[in-house]
Amino acid sequence: MPGSQRLADFENSWYNPGAGFLKKTIWYFLNALFFNSFFPINAIKIFLLKLFGAKIGKGVIIKPFVSVKYPWKLTVGNHVWIGEKVWIDNLDSVIIENNVCISQGALLLCGNHNYKKSSFDLMIGKIILKEGSWIGAKAIVTGNVIVEENAILQVASVASTNLDKNGIYRGNPALKIKNRF
pLDDT tens-place string over residues 133-149: 999 999 999 999 999 99
For residue 142, being part of any structural domain is answered with: yes
> Residue 9 falls within a domain, yes or no?
no
The one-letter amino acid at 21: F
Examine residue 129 and state whether it is found in any structural domain, yes or no.
Answer: yes
Has residue 7 been placed in a domain? no
pLDDT band at 2 (very low <50, low <70, confident <90, very high): low
Range of the domain at 161: 19-179
- Alpha-carbon distance of 166 to 181, in angstroms, equals 6
Does the pLDDT value for residue 99 go beyond 90?
yes
Q: For the stretch 101-121, what's the b/e string if a residue is b when 16 or more beta carbons lie within 10 angstroms of its beta carbon?
A: bbbebbbbbbbbeeeeebebb
Domain CATH code at residue 152: 2.160.10.10
CA dist list (Å): 31 to 6, 122, 125, 160: 32, 24, 22, 27
Count of Cβ atoms closer than 10 Å to residue 156 Cβ: 15
Domain count, the chain: 1
pTM for the complete prediction?
0.95
